[in-house]
Amino acid sequence: MIVQSSYGKSRVRLVQVLRQPDRHDLRDLTIAIRFEGDYDASYADGDNSAVLPTDTMKNTVYALAAQRAVGESEAFGLRLAQHFLDRNARLNRVRIDLTEHAWGRIPRGERQHGQAFMQAGSGSRTAAVEAGRDGVSVSAGIADLVVMKTAHSAFTGFPRDQFTTLPETRDRLLATALTATWRYSSTDLDFGPTWRAVRSTLLEVFAEHHSESVQHTLFAMGQGVLDAIGDVDVIHLVMPNRHHLPVDLSPFGLENRNEVFVATEEPHGLIEATLARGGPSPS
Amino acid sequence: MIVQSSYGKSRVRLVQVLRQPDRHDLRDLTIAIRFEGDYDASYADGDNSAVLPTDTMKNTVYALAAQRAVGESEAFGLRLAQHFLDRNARLNRVRIDLTEHAWGRIPRGERQHGQAFMQAGSGSRTAAVEAGRDGVSVSAGIADLVVMKTAHSAFTGFPRDQFTTLPETRDRLLATALTATWRYSSTDLDFGPTWRAVRSTLLEVFAEHHSESVQHTLFAMGQGVLDAIGDVDVIHLVMPNRHHLPVDLSPFGLENRNEVFVATEEPHGLIEATLARGGPSPS
Amino acid sequence: MIVQSSYGKSRVRLVQVLRQPDRHDLRDLTIAIRFEGDYDASYADGDNSAVLPTDTMKNTVYALAAQRAVGESEAFGLRLAQHFLDRNARLNRVRIDLTEHAWGRIPRGERQHGQAFMQAGSGSRTAAVEAGRDGVSVSAGIADLVVMKTAHSAFTGFPRDQFTTLPETRDRLLATALTATWRYSSTDLDFGPTWRAVRSTLLEVFAEHHSESVQHTLFAMGQGVLDAIGDVDVIHLVMPNRHHLPVDLSPFGLENRNEVFVATEEPHGLIEATLARGGPSPS
Amino acid sequence: MIVQSSYGKSRVRLVQVLRQPDRHDLRDLTIAIRFEGDYDASYADGDNSAVLPTDTMKNTVYALAAQRAVGESEAFGLRLAQHFLDRNARLNRVRIDLTEHAWGRIPRGERQHGQAFMQAGSGSRTAAVEAGRDGVSVSAGIADLVVMKTAHSAFTGFPRDQFTTLPETRDRLLATALTATWRYSSTDLDFGPTWRAVRSTLLEVFAEHHSESVQHTLFAMGQGVLDAIGDVDVIHLVMPNRHHLPVDLSPFGLENRNEVFVATEEPHGLIEATLARGGPSPS
């Protein structure tokens, strides 16, 4: 018995150049499309009569981009979703995932080149559109925003059992590669400015927070977004704890005044939570 | 309001050597531990009084391995889960994910070296234990088993719209990197032989099936496992379609008799389904 | 017969925090150390009496960082190289490779946080020190600086044989992930400002150049550095050609006005050259 | 002044299927082509009149594969090199690098499926052909062959300085991801059997050797190949030391009887040497 199924196309790479006389604009996206619907006959019987080829999904991305400029990721996702729902009767639900590869302009003295670009820093912008016969929801996100703070981060007061060796600390490095996704309460937003406002809030709270743990800071960041951005109604945050271990210099007759660290990626802590607008948390 | 949260430790690397006089045995695992429970105070208030450090989780992996040989991944996952549930009152649910890095023995003429190993082929063995106050479930899986068939694979009869350019074919290459996970109906199984039987069935059906699509073969593989292995009650399969495109040799005055292909990874199709023991699928 | 040998330690991860009252500074480095010398007895006879353990090399990195602030990568490489040469009689030649992971400060309104950082954009700063009994040389570089230009890039006038299908174009996208390394004529430079001047020159020439090919632009960039920065006497540039292919929209009855592209990484062109200060090239 | 330059195409992916009635054979290769020659005018002046497009290089791979079965990597590299030298007057030297992605057959009871394959284990087969106007050389290799031995590996007798903390050990794990390349004395060999003989020798010596260090075992492996395979005249070996650290269990009141280890990849030792047929090494 088929309990659940989906099929689609992943890693469709689209670059669009918009050419104004004195400057070009770039959209550089990786797109995934996923169909759910009444396709059991293709699985059970090899009947492809309703199976839009994933190759056609890919072609559709390029054709729709050619018909009208891509614009914001969320808007392009909505166009793609609507296109597929309109033309595929067996399709119940389509999901479009879009990751934007950000480019900045190469500086030209005090100004900027109009037609030359360099890849921007960490933290890709992501978007997801999920559309069904009964409605559509738009989410956005940021992937792998690498941040570190060197003050105002502690971890104390935790329980100790027979296998606990970790010392308490009031002053550690806190580093993570934040991935956050949030759902909008509307599909008709100014997506670009809203995304930038969420990103700024996440960075600002991370920087300012007096952290008792990754959990504590993650909650403050998520709550900060819910407080500041009315169009966000749910936010999910994932924060690996990229440990920076103070080096034991005592065998060399040296003191480590909390200055020399080994950066590690393996193993790492992994903290996640989903926060929603609503009553106080039940603690 | 915290809707959901978890925390834990990922990528704990454990190698255990069991030393018999004339041969050694190896277990090489990457382990992740995830706690869910009544930890809202740590998020909202920075209260760590119930937060077992993830460093302690890591230490526990090594300590339990030292107390008794790791054995099968599923069994070690069960031991870890029970240990954490017994000692952490606020913990409601713990998940242990284990990936095994398989080693074979280096050959020695017709025989094998007892103490020298080489990494085995594609397709890691995975296991997952989820345990709560109300019970425990054990899953197993295989990750990234790369397979290809060069006969008995077609894709025809699909709908064509204005963006469809894909030709129909009765004879294409079908390649994928299979990831499958399945849930066992019991926690008291001979996990090793059962895993090998599932893997054999997946490979056998993939090789034998007359495929009308990736969906069609995926279903046959999943159904084949449910039919052959009574201890599996649900199976989830993910099969990216790693397209191999026939090269157009006509500009060079050459014919491609379905022999020369470009292997691609981007973009790729992505097909998933979950099958359960039960009535006929509703097609 | 041993023709050549080396041994050392790779991927030593060092983070140093310098703590001033109102702001911290970060150095985040990955370091590799390589020894060449009279070590044949360790290979041929298993005689380790002269083999400084690579674990000690790693410890030395942390100890020297603790003794005095790391400073510029090149300067720290020089300190490490000298330390090892002074203490290891069999060591003839030591190479230190340093890659800097750049962090920017998180903005705080118009200003910046003193103790909170985010990972900076593409293009890591690299440095290499090679020191022997007869002298030392310092190189610097930039790795994986991802850039694209959407104007002033052509590829025409190339020879055509029976396997050539590529159309000529006067207006294509030109994208690369530049890796450059250059050797300094002195070991006593203001390494930071010099590195930034080289990087600016590379970006500026890439943006301004009227390109007839990747080769043509690579040469202009390298020559631009030699012309502008007197302390550089040799520069090596590697530029993969990350092709962006215009999508053929004609099957959909649409025109591609050089606006819609597929970004690809495989296969890619790969162009390299080494330029030195000196007479005109022999063309 | 251009001191050195090259250009070419990397990551050309070729799969060839040879179809016999009851079984198919697969060749799955990633190929890189590099040209060196009198191309300075393309760099300095943007003159492309002699620059065979890298796109044509890629097409040539597919066309030559269609004209005649690829066969052994080394033989196909020789055909490609000759083709390019014959048709490009400015080309002085061409290098073809080939990596083979090995596939085994899916078992079918005691036998094997003729048309269904699974990816084989670690250690890719590589080949390189370098051809100039004055001759040609053929090399072969193996990349990333991951091996471990759990006995007969020691590291003692090394010098200790003020930063040395490493304990001596007569019984440690020795693990590496071997990459080796060797040059053949002839271009007319039975390349497949010779490659398999080199690989067997490397594995056999690794397994049997009583190791005083990675250096010691690397030398024995290289010397073993030179002794056993007369057609190899130079061999280069690279062996990262993938450290497996015994876990300190004493804080938990447990003993580690050399059984429980943390596998690490960062940092790692890195040992290299080139051995040639010839007189005794000068130790």
pLDDT tens, residue by residue, A191-235: 999 999 999 999 999 999 999 999 999 999 999 999 999 999 999
Residue D123 shares a structural domain with residue D171? no
Q: Is the ipTM of this complex over 0.90?
A: yes
Number of domains, chain A: 2
**What is the predicted pLDDT for the residue at D137?**
98
**What is the predicted pLDDT for the residue at D5?**
98
pLDDT in tens, D89-124: 999 999 999 999 999 999 998 999 999 999 998 899
DSSP lists the bridge partners of residue A234 as A183, A276
Establish if B262 touches chain D: CB-CB under 8 angstroms: yes
Residue D105 shares a structural domain with residue D170? no
**Is the Cα dihedral D57, D60, D62, D68 positive or negative?**
negative
Domain assignment present for A182: yes
Establish if D259 touches chain B: CB-CB under 8 angstroms: yes
pLDDT, mean of residues B21-40: 97
Task: Inspect the interface and report whether the beta carbons of D265 and A265 lie closer than 8 Å.
Answer: no
Establish if C236 touches chain A: CB-CB under 8 angstroms: no
Per DSSP, the three-state class of D273 is strand
Domain assignment present for C237: yes
Domain assignment present for A84: yes
Residue B57 shares a structural domain with residue B156? no
Q: Which residues of B touch C163 (CB under 8 A)?
A: 252
Residue C44 shares a structural domain with residue C125? yes
Task: Inspect the interface and report whether the beta carbons of D5 and C273 lie closer than 8 Å.
Answer: yes
**What is the predicted pLDDT for the residue at C278?**
80
Q: Calculate how close chain A gets to C113, using CA atoms only, in Å.
A: 7
Domain assignment present for B232: yes
Establish if D245 touches chain B: CB-CB under 8 angstroms: no
Task: Select the more confidently predicted residue: C110 or D78.
Answer: D78
Residue D212 shares a structural domain with residue D92? no
Establish if B67 touches chain A: CB-CB under 8 angstroms: no
Confidence label for B257 from pLDDT (cuts 50, 70 and 90): very high
Whether D243 has a pLDDT exceeding 50, the answer reads yes
Name the stretches of chain C with pLDDT < 70. 279-283
A243 is catalytic: yes
Q: Which residues of C touch D280 (CB under 8 A)?
A: 1
Domain endpoint, select from D79, D108, D133: D133
Task: Select the more confidently predicted residue: C28 or B121.
Answer: C28
pLDDT, mean of residues A154-166: 98
Q: Which residues of D touch C80 (CB under 8 A)?
A: none
Q: What are phi and psi of A43, to 5 degrees?
A: -75, -50
- State the Rg of chain C over Cα: 23
For C70, the domain range is 7-133
Q: Percent of chain D scored above 70 by pLDDT?
A: 98
Q: Which of D36, D48, D233, D242 is the best residue to mutate to test the C interface, defined by the most C CB atoms within 10 Å of its own CB? A: D48
Domain assignment present for D119: yes
C9 is catalytic: yes
C163 vs B163, B165, B252: nearest CB: B252
Establish if B165 touches chain C: CB-CB under 8 angstroms: yes
Residue A176 shares a structural domain with residue A224? yes
C210 is catalytic: no
Picking from C246, C264, C249, the residue whose alpha carbon sits closest to that of residue A64 is: C249
Residue A164 shares a structural domain with residue A126? no
Domain endpoint, select from C113, C133, C153: C133
Burial of D253 (0-12, 13-18, 19+ CB in 10 A): exposed
d(C-alpha C139, C-alpha C186), whole Å: 10
The tokens for A173 are 């490095």
Whether B105 has a pLDDT exceeding 70, the answer reads yes
Picking from D87, D105, D123, D85, the residue whose alpha carbon sits closest to that of residue D25 is: D105
**What is the predicted pLDDT for the residue at D279?**
61
Task: Inspect the interface and report whether the beta carbons of B48 and A155 lie closer than 8 Å.
Answer: yes
Confidence label for D1 from pLDDT (cuts 50, 70 and 90): very high
Q: Return the number of CB contacts < 8 Å for A and B.
A: 249
Establish if B177 touches chain A: CB-CB under 8 angstroms: no
| DSSP alpha helix (H) spans, A114-260 | 191-208, 214-228
Contact B119, B100 (CB under 8 A): no
Establish if D165 touches chain A: CB-CB under 8 angstroms: yes
C41 vs D34, D164, D283: nearest CB: D283
- Rounded to 10 degrees, the C-alpha dihedral C113/C117/C121/C122 comes to 150
Q: Which of C2, C153, C213, C233 is the best residue to mutate to test the D interface, defined by the most D CB atoms within 10 Å of its own CB? A: C2
Angle at CA of residue B210, ends B207 and B214, nearest 5° = 80
Residue in D30, D54, D150, D187 annotated catalytic: D54
Confidence label for D282 from pLDDT (cuts 50, 70 and 90): very low
Determine the residue of chain A that is closest to C263 in CA distance: A13
Residue B108 shares a structural domain with residue B198? no
Establish if A242 touches chain B: CB-CB under 8 angstroms: no
Domain assignment present for C281: no
Task: Select the more confidently predicted residue: A255 or A121.
Answer: A255
B157 vs A49, A161, A269: nearest CB: A49
Contact A226, A277 (CB under 8 A): yes
**What is the predicted pLDDT for the residue at A80?**
98
Establish if B163 touches chain C: CB-CB under 8 angstroms: yes
Q: Calculate how close chain A gets to C117, using CA atoms only, in Å.
A: 5
Residue in B30, B54, B150, B187 annotated catalytic: B54
**What is the predicted pLDDT for the residue at D283?**
43
Contact B215, A45 (CB under 8 A): no
pLDDT in tens, B37-90: 999 999 999 999 999 999 999 999 999 999 999 999 999 999 999 999 999 999
Domain endpoint, select from B133, B165, B193: B133
A273 vs B43, B275, B276: nearest CB: B43
pLDDT in tens, A54-87: 999 999 999 999 999 999 999 999 999 999 999 9
Residue D113 shares a structural domain with residue D233? no
- Strands (DSSP E) found in chain B: 2-19, 24-37, 91-100, 103-108, 111-119, 124-132, 135-149, 174-184, 232-241, 244-246, 260-263, 268-276
Determine the residue of chain B that is closest to C266 in CA distance: B264
pLDDT in tens, B201-212: 999 999 999 999
Confidence label for A278 from pLDDT (cuts 50, 70 and 90): confident
**Is the Cα dihedral C85, C88, C92, C93 positive or negative?**
negative
Q: Return the number of CB contacts < 8 Å for B and C.
A: 13
Whether B282 has a pLDDT exceeding 70, the answer reads no
Residue A183 shares a structural domain with residue A264? yes
Please report, for the domain that includes residue A172, its CATH number: 3.10.270.10
Q: Which residues of D touch C11 (CB under 8 A)?
A: 265-268
Q: Calculate how close chain B gets to A195, using CA atoms only, in Å.
A: 22
Q: Calculate how close chain B gets to A44, using CA atoms only, in Å.
A: 6
Mean pLDDT of chain B: 96
Confidence label for A122 from pLDDT (cuts 50, 70 and 90): confident
**What is the predicted pLDDT for the residue at A282?**
45
Q: Which residues of C touch B162 (CB under 8 A)?
A: 252-253
pLDDT, mean of residues B235-263: 97
Q: Calculate how close chain D gets to B228, using CA atoms only, in Å.
A: 16
Residue C114 shares a structural domain with residue C194? no
pLDDT in tens, D162-191: 999 999 999 999 999 999 999 999 999 999
Determine the residue of chain B that is closest to A52 in CA distance: B159
Angle at CA of residue A125, ends A124 and A128, nearest 5° = 130
D24 vs B63, B151, B207: nearest CB: B151
Q: Calculate how close chain B gets to D113, using CA atoms only, in Å.
A: 7
Residue B111 shares a structural domain with residue B15? yes
Task: Inspect the interface and report whether the beta carbons of C10 and D165 lie closer than 8 Å.
Answer: no
Q: Calculate how close chain D gets to B107, using CA atoms only, in Å.
A: 8
d(C-alpha A258, C-alpha A173), whole Å: 9
**What is the predicted pLDDT for the residue at C281?**
47
Q: Which of residues 186-225 of C touch A (CB under 8 A)?
A: 203-204, 206-208
d(C-alpha A201, C-alpha A203), whole Å: 5
d(C-alpha C43, C-alpha A140), whole Å: 57
Q: Calculate how close chain C gets to A206, using CA atoms only, in Å.
A: 8
Establish if A157 touches chain B: CB-CB under 8 angstroms: yes
Task: Inspect the interface and report whether the beta carbons of B155 and A49 lie closer than 8 Å.
Answer: no
d(C-alpha C18, C-alpha C20), whole Å: 6
Domain assignment present for B26: yes
Q: Which of B18, B62, B108, B244 is the best residue to mutate to test the D interface, defined by the most D CB atoms within 10 Å of its own CB? A: B62
Establish if B118 touches chain D: CB-CB under 8 angstroms: yes
For B36, half-sphere exposure in the C-beta direction (CA atoms, 13 angstrom radius) is: 15
Rounded (10°) angle between helices C73-87 and C54-67: 120
Domain assignment present for C2: no
Establish if D161 touches chain A: CB-CB under 8 angstroms: no
